[in-house]
Amino acid sequence: MATVEELKLRIRELENELIKSKQKQSDAEHNIRPKIEQMSAEVVDSNPYSRLMALKRMGIVQDYEKIRSFAVAVVGVGGVGSVTAEMLTRCGIGKLLLFDYDKVELANMNRLFFQPHQAGLSKVEAAQHTLRNINPDVAFETHNYNITTMDNFTHFMDRVSHGGLEEGKPVDLILSCVDNFEARMAINTACNELGQIWMESGVSENAVSGHIQLIIPGETACFACAPPLVVAANIDEKTLKRDGVCAASLPTTMGVVAGLLVQNVLKYLLGFGTVSYYLGYNAMQDFFPSMAMKANPQCDDRHCRRQQDEYKKKEAERPKQEVVQEEEEVVHEDNEWGIELVSEVTEAELQDASGPIPDLPEGITVAYTIPEKDGGSGETVEETEQSLEELMAQMKKM
């Protein structure tokens, strides 16, 4: 039989082993680098911002540190949203607000970001855990709910209006990375009411096309002004939708769309390059159509019409500048983000367009058509209740 001394020795051994084992776990789980107070351009291996701060020396961005002053809301943390959140985190954004109600599944493993061991966790929780590890300088706020239900929508509106970097202030930008029509319309409604600038993204059900779009309430077409634009896939739509059938997806297409989206976000927030209003990606032909579309004065969303009135008033009040027409380029000197119209559609063409659908450049089409009411004015989707299910089926997984 063991002596008391032997037993005590064994206890000490076990206690030491346990401490080591727990330490190992803790190291792996919490080996988070300390926060960095000031972004530095110093070229050392240990500086996670050296390659970003180099954008200043390269003459691309004037004030890269400004990235820390922005709060961005990402709605939908799936194939596009998760990569979008990761890119913004690695760029050192000030604050990220993540909204999603889905769980990670093994069926998501054909896209970037989530890992098999996260299966079963909520997407926002799993994402926050990974992202905080990658960059502890970013502030995170997560909401594990569906923004389209009445209560959640009210809470969503409240958080995007008050959940900015400084609590009480609005977020700087909302990014729509959702995969269904209802959620897109909810974001559209919220942004029109709040006058909140947002960017849309989408990937087609056949996984080989996608797009990003910038929406400035009152200035550019909202989702109720005209059906959302998508990239034509040039593929026979033989697909029959049945139970047990899922959309296809590819990490490539979703990675490209997330990259183009966050690039547009950086250009918009940090003021460099040309911010795209609409940029499509056709993976089959490597074709990238771009355009812009004005708000529809007959839009059925009253908040959109109100924003249009306010925009017109602001434009009219603006001190008239001598319009210097050098060559054919129109310079928007007082446009604080350096946005330029890249549309193939002239303003005259847009104003002449009688219905809600303007002539579209090659390769872009609308996600669906809205039946005309008497009088020919555009009809909102919300009012065509009898066909809403049809529309949703068309838009699902867009």
Q: Which residues are part of the catalytic machinery?
A: 246
Q: How far is the CB of 279 from its own copies (least distance, A)?
A: 5
Angle in degrees, CA 276, 174, 277, rounded to 5:
15
Q: Report, in Å, the least distance between residue 36 CB and its own copies.
A: 10
Determine if 246 is a binding residue for its own copies (CB under 8 A). yes
Residues in contact with its own copies, shown as a per-residue x/- string from 329 to 368 under the rule CB under 8 A: -------------x--------------------------
Q: Residue 11 or residue 331: which is nearer to its own copies going by CB?
A: 11
Radius of gyration of the chain (CA): 24
Q: Which helix (H) or strand (E) holds 73?
A: strand 71-75
Helix ranges (H only) for the chain are: 4-30, 50-57, 81-91, 123-134, 150-162, 181-194, 251-270, 302-317, 347-352, 388-395
Among candidates 146, 221, 186, 201, which has minimal Cα distance to 382? 186
Q: What is the DSSP letter of 356?
A: S
Q: How far are the Cα atoms of 28, 111, 176 from residue 123, in angstroms, in the given order?
A: 21, 13, 16
Give one DSSP letter per residue of 152-211, joined into a string.
Answer: HHHHHHHHHHH-SSSTTSPPSEEEE--SSHHHHHHHHHHHHHHT--EEEEEE-TTSSEEE
Question: 40 or 298: whose CB is closer to its own copies?
Answer: 40
Question: Considering beta carbons, is residue 73 or 91 the nearer one to its own copies?
Answer: 91
Distance CA 91, CA 264 (A): 13
Please, what is the minimum distance in Å from the beta carbon of residue 109 to its own copies?
4
Single out the residue of 248, 341, 350, 366 in contact with its own copies (rule: CB under 8 A). Answer: 248
Q: Which stretch binds its own copies (CB under 8 A): 151-159, 217-225, 236-244, 291-299?
A: 236-244
Task: Using CB under 8 A, pick the residue from 247, 350, 388, 392 that binds its own copies.
Answer: 247
Q: Which of 62, 149, 154, 285 binds its own copies (CB under 8 A)?
A: 285
Candidates 4-12, 189-197, 216-224, 373-381; binding stretch for its own copies (CB under 8 A)? 4-12
Q: Hey, what are 297's tokens?
A: 């004065």
- Considering only residues 80 through 139, tell me which ones interact with its own copies, judged by CB under 8 A: 83, 86-87, 90-92, 105-107, 109-112, 115-117, 119, 133-135
With beta carbons less than 8 A apart as the criterion, state whether 158 and 196 touch: no
Q: Are 140 and 74 in contact (CB under 8 A)?
A: no
3-state secondary structure of 383: helix
CB of 184 to its own copies, least distance (A): 21
Judged by beta carbon, residue 16 or residue 149, the one nearer its own copies is 16
> Is residue 99 within 8 Å of residue 75, measured between CB atoms?
yes
**Per CB under 8 A, which of residues 254..273 are in contact with its own copies?**
255-256, 258-260, 262-264, 266-267, 272-273
Closest to its own copies by CB, 116 or 376 = 116
Binding string, 192-231, against its own copies, x = CB under 8 A? -------------xxxx-----------------------
**Least distance in Å: CB of 181 to its own copies?**
19
For residues 173 and 199, the answer to whether their CB atoms sit within 8 Å is: yes
Which position among 151, 236, 317, 385 is part of the footprint of its own copies (CB under 8 A)?
236
Q: How far apart are CA 78 and CA 146, in angstroms?
A: 13
Token pair for residue 198? 């947002």
Shortest reach from residue 235's CB to its own copies, in Å: 6
Task: Looking at residues 44 to 83 of the shown chain, list those that interact with its own copies (rule: CB under 8 A).
Answer: 44-52, 54-55, 57-60, 83
CB of 193 to its own copies, least distance (A): 30
Local structure of residue 237 (DSSP, 8 states): -
Q: Nearest 5°: CA angle at 231, between 175 and 253?
A: 65
Q: In the set 22, 162, 314, 332, which binds its own copies (CB under 8 A)?
A: 22
Is there a contact between 215 and 175 (Cβ–Cβ < 8 Å)?
Answer: no
Question: Residue from 148, 290, 296, 308 that binds its own copies (CB under 8 A)?
Answer: 290
Does position 7 interact with its own copies (CB under 8 A)? The reply is yes
CA distances from 27 to 32, 90, 393 (A): 9, 21, 47
- Tell me which residues in 378-397 interact with its own copies (CB under 8 A): none
Least separation in angstroms between residue 251's CB and its own copies is 4
Examine residue 32 and tell whether it contacts its own copies (CB under 8 A): yes
